[in-house]
Amino acid sequence: MKIRPLFKEAFLIIFLSILLGLVYNTTSRKGIPLIREEIKKITTSDTLLFSNPEKDTVLPNVPVIAPLHEQALRNADSIERNYKRPEKKSINIVNIEQVKKILNEKRALIIDARDVESYRQGHINGAINVPGLSVDQYFEKFVELPRDTLILLYCNNPTCHLSRLVGDFLQTLGFTRLYHFDGGFDEWMDKKMPYVTEDSN
């Protein structure tokens, strides 16, 4: 068996892949930085979360009628075109107790970032479905919201990425109060919390 040509060919394939990968990554809109940074999870204190209650009376599932951000709408196309992942590599996380409190007081827009099918099978009451993988389709809905809306995001569990994709997108649009329910729907089910399915909602 001739060993040299095998490795020569294999290296050629790998070299070609490196070349294609790097070129594609620099030209693609969804390209990523070559070196990854760790995402820091910052726990959120109750005082920060519940400091000014009068501001956050967003009823879940009710479209928020808010002053249109004309500037944002006018720049809608260019914002979308220039969409880049934000530099900031940290997310604010909340625990299940804080989620319960937020739910009780109906003070936040709750976003379920999982896929449509998972959402249909069960989700936190009042949550709207914005699948992380197609978040850009919801641009027009989000752009009308006040940028200081309290937004609670969740997906399955702490390693789930879908809510981060939505969070990144919203951060790019200028939303400032984004909180991730780190335990996600898995913890929600583990703790036997109530949930709704599509039919009963």
Partner 1 sequence: MRSIILNKYLVLISRFIVGIVFIIASIDKIAVPELFAINIEGYDLLPISLINITAIIVPWIELLCGIFLISSFYLRSSSFIVSIFLVSFILMITSAILRGLHIDCGCFGIDSSEVSWYRVIEDIILLLMSIHIYYYSTKIEDLHPLKSGT
CB of 85 closer than 8 Å to CB of 168: yes
- Selection from 10, 58, 13 nearest residue 175 by Cα: 58
Contact status: 36 vs partner 1 (CB under 8 A): yes
Contact status: 22 vs partner 1 (CB under 8 A): yes
- Distance, CA of 38 to CA of 60 (rounded, Å): 32
Contact status: 85 vs partner 1 (CB under 8 A): yes
Nearer to partner 1, 7 or 55 (CB): 7
Instruction: Give the Cα-Cα-Cα angle 55, 62, 137 (nearest 5 degrees).
Output: 105
- Distance, CA of 142 to CA of 76 (rounded, Å): 11
- The contact mask relative to partner 1 for 135-164 (x = CB under 8 A, - = no) is ----------------------x-xxx--x
Give exposure, 50-67, as e/b (b: 16+ Cβ within 10 Å): beeeeebebebeeeeeee
CB of residue 183 to partner 1, shortest distance in Å? 12
Contact status: 189 vs partner 1 (CB under 8 A): no
CB of residue 68 to partner 1, shortest distance in Å? 31
- Binder among 27, 32, 70, 200 for partner 1 (CB under 8 A): 32
Residue with tokens 């299940």: 96
- Binder among 31, 86, 146, 174 for partner 1 (CB under 8 A): 31
Contact status: 3 vs partner 1 (CB under 8 A): no
Structure tokens at 140: 């027009």
Can you give the binding site for partner 1, defined by CB under 8 A? 1-2, 5-7, 9-10, 12-14, 16-18, 20-22, 24-25, 28, 30-38, 85, 115, 133, 157, 159-161, 164-165, 186
